[in-house]
Structure 1
């Protein structure tokens, strides 16, 4: 019998689990079937790979040798598969732009700018709530760029595989219906909103935890939080059922105003990511420039944000935009 990759995966699974019973469960095999496969592998390699007793399974010196090689070979094969997928999905000779993004105002602006400059280039988009999902698609070569966001200074996913650059940094504003008693305020503290119901969109970053921590510092715990899509969030705010949080680049819908939070307790960082070994890396500087221009345009479409930026630019006040 010739040794195959699946045999190395079995050996590693047994070593990681510490017993054949747990390894069989992890691999979805019957223990008897796994035991039979292990015996055939051991015959092929010339000796026992594990000492087995009631306490579990521990690698023999021969088993340690095989495991050392397996721990090098298996990640290398996985990397080869990723590289092959990226190569197969690479464009040939002409620019192509496959953009992935979380829901927000910048993706449309980036599409518009790229389409204007490259009218004949294939251009497609993919959106998801999950930053990790979009990052994985870029890593696999199924998307060229990720336009996502992170809370504050928290790191984006896959930093060891993808190159990330900051597009812009925004304060987080609160969304209120026009008839709300506080809608005309220049800025609000979170403490003033302690009795409100809230609406938010889902995500897999730390924003929810950061929001809860900011509320705790303000002396309250949000009693009602509706997790919903962007359109439903806007509707809940418009009819006065809840208030919401938004990036300052959000252009308010009719019937809604956005108000800065005093002290800027929450911030949002827009990021563009790509794989450094993909063809997308060659056009990344231009795409990054387009994304930053789209961010600037979005920032000035919200009059409240434009006013906030003007105040922050005054001497003695730190500027958060950029």
Structure 2
């Protein structure tokens, strides 16, 4: 097997993310495919490159040696690709590449950016991993990213990035079936859901740690099923699971979205870009459009609207 740049890029991604699973997502591959590729690379080099641990993947001494040689090659190839892309952009027009963790505000953000920059090729990359998106901004693969940081689980923000905080503390709500006994209440206590099965997406950075913290504080140890929040709706409506959700999440027939008592689970929302700013628009313009999109979707959400009114309308237009 002859090593190619894509193989070196895969090794760097595993080292940077600390996980084959996260590296596969960043590279646009499936985890089994990347695992197979890693085994082939290790066989070709004649040794193990990463220690496989419960918390992720850590380079072996041989892995460190290979990475020291691989990183400059990958960086040079990336610089070459970016230089070619820059020439293409100058000839064909400007580009704007934004990223986001899943948020209902993204559609409104894109709509405003395209209205503001009609001659710009604006693209979106979504990912459940905020750390992966921040890494892509730092590496020049994205111009800006809108991410959330689970309270108590800080993200690894690369050096050289500038943060613009949209909201210091966005409360996370709970989605449950309309037939659930707690759905009739204005606010739900975590302890009221002790006997329910919770659906959790372990690939969301910080989510698992945040939920364990609030379960511990409430003195409960619920049953847990791992899954994708985007596919949880049917299970919630069927009464099989309850699941945390964004306050801006859109409810569906048969589903209720309620705040949690005292808002024990929250995230910080911010936009990150490189210090030199996006090429197509100023960071101020990007952030202004993001703020407007988020404010619009927040007030359009019935559950979040009621919560905001009770808490003094923090996101009221003009604030």
TM norm. shorter chain > 0.5: yes
Q: 2:128 maps to which residue?
A: 129
Residue 196 of structure 1, CA deviation: 0.5
Q: 1:183 maps to which residue?
A: 183
For the pair 1:150 / 2:149, whether they are aligned, the reply is yes
Residue 312 of structure 1, CA deviation: 1.2
Please give the secondary structure, in 2, of the residue aligned with 1:224: strand
Aligned counterparts of 1:100 and 1:214: Cα–Cα separation in 2: 29
Structure 1 residues 78 and 277: CA distance shift in structure 2, 3 A: farther
Residue 84 of structure 1, CA deviation: 5.7
Residue 262 of structure 1, CA deviation: 0.6
Q: 1:206 maps to which residue?
A: 206
Q: 1:293 maps to which residue?
A: 292
Structure 1 residues 226 and 154: CA distance shift in structure 2, 3 A: closer
Q: 1:265 maps to which residue?
A: 264
Alpha-carbon contact 2:150-2:206 (below 8 Å) kept: yes
Structure 1 residues 115 and 279: CA distance shift in structure 2, 3 A: closer
Q: How many residue pairs get matched?
A: 255
Alpha-carbon contact 2:198-2:242 (below 8 Å) kept: yes
Residue 274 of structure 1, CA deviation: 1.2
Aligned counterparts of 2:307 and 2:147: Cα–Cα separation in 1: 23
Aligned counterparts of 2:311 and 2:269: Cα–Cα separation in 1: 19
Q: Which runs of 5+ in 2 are unaligned?
A: 1-40, 48-67
Alpha-carbon contact 2:188-2:259 (below 8 Å) kept: yes
- TM-score normalised per structure 1: 0.69
Aligned counterparts of 1:167 and 1:132: Cα–Cα separation in 2: 18
Of 181-190 and 270-279, the range deviating more from structure 2? 270-279
| Coordinate RMSD, CA, aligned | 3.2
Aligned counterparts of 2:152 and 2:161: Cα–Cα separation in 1: 17
Alpha-carbon contact 1:141-1:278 (below 8 Å) kept: no
For the pair 1:224 / 2:224, whether they are aligned, the reply is yes
Of 294-303 and 131-140, the range deviating more from structure 2? 131-140
Aligned counterparts of 2:280 and 2:274: Cα–Cα separation in 1: 7
Structure 1 residues 106 and 218: CA distance shift in structure 2, 3 A: same
Alpha-carbon contact 1:275-1:281 (below 8 Å) kept: no
Alpha-carbon contact 1:274-1:280 (below 8 Å) kept: no
Residue 209 of structure 1, CA deviation: 0.8
Deviation string 1:131-154 (CA, Å, 9 cap, x unpaired) is 222222222222211121111264
Structure 1 residues 240 and 92: CA distance shift in structure 2, 3 A: same
Structure 1 residues 219 and 77: CA distance shift in structure 2, 3 A: same
Aligned ranges 1:16-31 → 2 under 5 Å: 29=45
- TM-score normalised per structure 2: 0.69
Structure exhibiting the larger radius of gyration computed from Cα positions: 1
